[in-house]
Amino acid sequence: MATDHSKFQRIVILDYGSQYTQLIARRIREQQVFSEIVRFDTTAAKLRENMPKGIILSGGPNSVFEEGAPGIDPEIFNLGVPVLGVCYGMQLMSQTLGGKVEPGAAREYGKTEMATEPDNILFAGLPRSFVVWMSHGDRVAAIPEGFKVSATSANCPYAAIRDESRRFYAIQFHPEVVHTQHGSQIIGNFLFKICGCAADWKLSTWIEDTVEKLRAQIGDEEVVLGLSGGVDSSVVAVLLHKAIGRRLHCIFVDNGLLRANEDVQVERMFKTKLGLDLTVAHAAQRFYAALKGVSEPEAKRKIIGREFINVFAEEARKFSHCRFLGQGTIYPDVIESSHALKGPSQTIKSHHNVGGLPPDLKFELVEPLRDLFKDEVRAVGRVLRMDSELLDRQPFPGPGLGVRILGEVTEEKVKLLQQADLRVQEEIRKLPQYKTIWQTFAVLLPVRTVGVMGDQRTYEYTCAIRSVDSIDAMTADWTRIPYDTLAAMSNRIINEVRGINRVVYDISSKPPATIEWE
């Protein structure tokens, strides 16, 4: 479902590949202004079709000197709207408007003390000196005509510059990261004092608007939806049910790789409690058979994805009268699939959902969440009065426990891991900071070790516990779980789960490790 943003004022962010680009968009939306990320090569003519209140040029990993470095349509600077350049965006703006950029004598990375000049609206209400987060190699050596200095640092004479007459502002640091003091206020000054935005981006209004659009798009037709039990597909299900009621048909594929009792919980939640039309496809043995003898991680992912699509397609054919397919696509999915600066990236691990269906299933897509970040999806769920138990669920991979069992996946190993993970979940939920932890789970390793239970020697599996803190899963750090909680997890797994006699804790960050083990 393509969303009409004309109801909301918006800020457009040209994406130059920074790992922080999505964070800029989130920081803007936190101040109730709608933000949209578009490709760096979006033209001024395209932007003029739905004129934004302001434009931000994001940071990026490139140097403006590199051959093929991402550029900008210079006509964007003639649109008459405010522009803010951030890091690479500052260098690109300066170069395009006649300034000079040069390689820095040394790369400046990390926290830096910055001093601001007086009478600068971008830094209005802030102290004259504060800490910012720098991440750049090149720097502006001469500013364009009409600009003046807004701030300096020890290594950067042009830490921030401005041309007030044209409402062009540029900063060499990243206001969107938590390491920059007063970053949200700097962004707020750009939104409200410079661009004149109104704080009109409210999720309650978005829900009403989206339900109207769903009814208009679907009409009297019916929708089939692949329901995983995760936050995204669950919120889509409730939104669609609100819009079209029993003309929504949900399909839940039990692949045998779910958490303990998850199939029962999903059926109770959506069929019994919420009254949705739900079909549960019990296909565990089919998945186990397909995975027999397979140990390579990417091969396992592809098999699980393929079988998921096959099972879903078989069930979906029973709803041949349905014209639409609902999906839980969210904004980071859209950005990652369409904003790559250098073409296809190396495959780290493949993902699956109900895309790639057989050609006989010619559904039209309904994707009501495609403009929202994960935290906004949860917020929508709360406005819709969905259970916090469901909304606060931690992310769970599409291939399920298939990528948390290293080596061959068997029914016996799945049941073993389900019981270990159940105890991990029960203990982690007791922590007051549980809702701030991104993900906590157990992994079954293909390693047997010697142990002693009572007077008997054992030779059983090793279980790893993984817990990470993250904002969006792009980067993550291992969680400092209290020792007492780790001890409780370990004791319960070893004493209550027959087949595991050793527990270890994973203290790897991402990067270099991934969150999942496979």
Active centre residues (catalytic): 87, 174, 176
Distance CA 438, CA 288 (A): 29
Distance CA 335, CA 22 (A): 9
Distance CA 516, CA 507 (A): 13
Q: Please, how many CA atoms are within 13 Å of residue 121, restricted to the half-sphere of its CB?
A: 17
Is the preceding peptide bond at 512 cis, omega within 30 degrees of 0?
Answer: yes
Q: Where are the beta strands (DSSP E) in 67-128?
A: 83-86, 100-116
Strand partners, 13: 37, 56
Distance CA 237, CA 240 (A): 5
- 270 close to 227: Cβ distance less than 8 angstroms: yes
Unique residue bearing structure tokens 């979006």? 42
Distance CA 27, CA 128 (A): 23
User: Strands 456-469 and 439-453, how do they pair?
Assistant: antiparallel
Both structure tokens of 106: 């040394």
Both structure tokens of 32: 């109730």
Strand partners, 116: 151
Distance CA 323, CA 319 (A): 9
